[in-house]
Amino acid sequence: MALLATKAAEVEALAAERDALARRILKLEEELALARLHRFAPRSEKHMDRVFNEAEQAALEDDADEDHDDIDEPGAADLPDTGLPEAKKPEGKKRGRKALPAGLPRQRVEYDLAHDQKVCPCCSERLHRMGEVVTEQLHIEVKATVLQNARAKYACRNCDRTGVATPIVLAPMPAQPLPGSIATASTLAFALVHKYVDGTPLYRLAQTFERAGVPVSRGALGHWVIGSSERHLYRIYDALKLRLRSQDVIHGDETTVQVLKEEGKAPTSTSYMWAYRSSEDSKQPIVLFDYQPGRGQEHPQAFLGDYRGILMSDGYTAWRTLKGATHLGCMAHARRRFADALKARKKQGGPPAQALKFFDQLYRIERQARDEIPDEGEAQASYMRRFRQKHSVPVLDALKAWLDAIAPKVMPETKLGDAVSYTLNQWEYLTRYVEDGRMPIDNNLLERDIRVFATGRKSWLFCDTVDGARASAVTYSLMLTCRACGVEPLAWLRHVLTELPQRPHDADIDDLLPFNFERPA
């Protein structure tokens, strides 16, 4: 009997080891599939929608062909019918080349026949002009010029003859952004836009200047960038920071950055750009980056202070330490986890595809709510809340019941198990948006702004110094705020870098903020 008991225990141990290895293999297969997709497949979520639709079709296929990466997969759940009207089909885009903007200056170039060619080829009579054919081409010239500042110089002849010293009076000129530098406000704006809007590293920008016949070293360009930020642009940044804290809704997120020369840290260590943004409906759109050496909770606490409004973030706990704020969770993060679970499967369909049906319906409700016009006298926020209570709440209730039903049946180590547990753990924050029409459903608005920084980071790779990282945070903030306000960044920077040196540090600069900017004629 003892031998049988020992054998049974060994068999049981081997079976447990086999199951553990099977789960380990499944997890590694999922990670390998996602890594391949991450490297080779399109990453746009617009492309993912087509995958989701195919997955929904695959989910209807015979369950006998399903792989066995989930245990006792539940059947499909029906979406609740809330009376949501059919979405209007978007109008198709007109084909063909768009006309050049009417606001661009026109330069007329005329072409005429030579005098001896104005003869009819049939009867040799003189031709008469019946009209003209006008076509338009886009013509761009980039020229470097030298601005000579000729300051009149005066002296007194009487003092020269009779006095001990002769006073010399020099005509004043406006204060320059960087005294002693060869760069004008326009040149600084050109360099900043190329680096922070177009993502051009400084060494490539130096090559651009050299091709134009103006050798400017990379070090000089670095001084232009840091000097513009530390002398002038930080004043705009600080003014925007005060206004951001007073807004009802703030989006928060963070992304990585590498700084080579930072005291107490290795060059290969990771630092962070903390990002903050006003809501999509804000009358004063603001996007701010804040460079910090770490990812601790003290950084958002110091930046936002005792903020009492609505804070949208992902599930990172550092954001939730702001006690006075009303916290929201990002629905797109939950949706993305189920999308990863779907892509990691050997065959499309199953619970991940079912979950994505719920998420797609929630986003369809959001799109239609924004397209509808509120009743007369009803505020947009009040209408959004009413629309969500009618259509989104039943879908969320059905999603919650479905998640509770499948949670005990999925393996926690799989991508599906991770998606289910994340969504249930964050449920309170994910669903809070239906309580207030001002609240966003996700953090995608800020993630689109961070994407500009991440794209540039692929080109310039790292910041050399902490001062450079802070200057980058200030300038990226202003460029993205310009984009949010629909302001042309080159014109705004040229105007601001011309005006700020003339104004004392305690002067009012409200008219220079991007959302108040009116382009000079």
Note the pLDDT of residue 22: 72
The phi, psi pair for 169, rounded to 5°, reads: -110, 125
CA distance 148 to 145: 10
Sign of CA dihedral 192, 197, 199, 200: negative
Centre a 10 Å sphere on the Cβ of residue 459 and count the other Cβ atoms it contains.
12
Distances (CA, A) of 455 to 203, 436, 503: 17, 34, 35
Comparing CA positions, the residue from 35, 16, 29 lying closest to residue 69 is 29
> How buried is residue 29: exposed, middle or buried, by Cβ count under 10 Å (0-12/13-18/19+)?
middle
List the structure tokens of 369.
Answer: 């709510």
Ramachandran class of 305: left when φ > 0, alpha when ψ lies in -120 to 50, beta otherwise:
left
Q: Using N-to-C axis directions, what is the helix angle for 350-371 and 331-344, rounded to 10°? A: 150
- Cα separation, 456 vs 462, in Å, equals 10
The pLDDT score that the predictor gives to residue 30 is 63
Kindly report, residue by residue over 104-114, the tens digit of the pLDDT: 899 999 999 99
- Write down the domain spans for the chain: 331-441
User: What pLDDT, on the 0 to 100 scale, is given for residue 75?
Assistant: 54
The 10s digit of each residue's pLDDT in 255-264 is 999 999 998 8
Low-confidence winner among 159-163, 285-289, 433-437 (lowest mean pLDDT): 159-163
Residue 340's pLDDT is what? Answer: 87
Q: Phi first, then psi: what are they for 305, rounded to 5°? A: 60, -130
φ, ψ for residue 121, nearest 5 deg: -70, -10
Pair of tokens at residue 251: 């989006």
Is it the case that residue 519 has pLDDT exceeding 90? no
At 99, the amino acid letter reads A
pLDDT in tens, 124-164: 889 999 999 999 998 887 788 888 999 999 998 888 888 77
410 Cβ neighbours under 8 A, 6+ residues apart = 70, 71, 351, 416, 417, 420
Residue 155, C-beta contacts closer than 8 angstroms, at least 6 positions apart: 166, 167, 168, 169
CA distance 349 to 50: 13
Sign of CA dihedral 44, 45, 46, 50: positive
Q: What is the mean pLDDT of the chain?
A: 86
The model's pLDDT over 215-274, given as tens digits with 9 standing for 90+, comes to 899 999 999 999 999 999 999 999 999 999 999 999 999 999 999 999 889 999 999 999
The pair of structure tokens assigned to 349 is 């369909």
pTM: 0.83
* Per-residue model confidence (pLDDT) at position 213: 86
- Per cent of the chain over pLDDT 90 is 58
Under 8 Å between Cβ of 471 and 225: yes
What are the residues whose beta carbons fall under 8 Å from the beta carbon of 319, sequence distance 6 or more? 252, 300, 311, 313, 327
d(CA 270, CA 294): 8
In this model, does residue 61 exceed pLDDT 90?
Answer: no
Over range 50-62, report the average pLDDT: 41
CB burial of 155-174 (b: ≥16 within 10 Å; e: otherwise) equals eeeeeeeeeeeeeeeeeeee
- If DSSP codes are grouped into helix, strand and coil, which group holds residue 450? helix
pLDDT band at 287 (very low <50, low <70, confident <90, very high): very high
Q: Running DSSP on this structure, what letter comes out for residue 510?
A: G
Q: What is the dihedral of CA 117, 123, 128, 130, to 10 degrees?
A: -100
186 or 380, higher pLDDT: 186
* pLDDT tens track for 312-324: 999 899 999 999 9
- Taking CA atoms, 446 is separated from 137, 245, 305, 314, 474, in Å, by 37, 16, 20, 11, 16
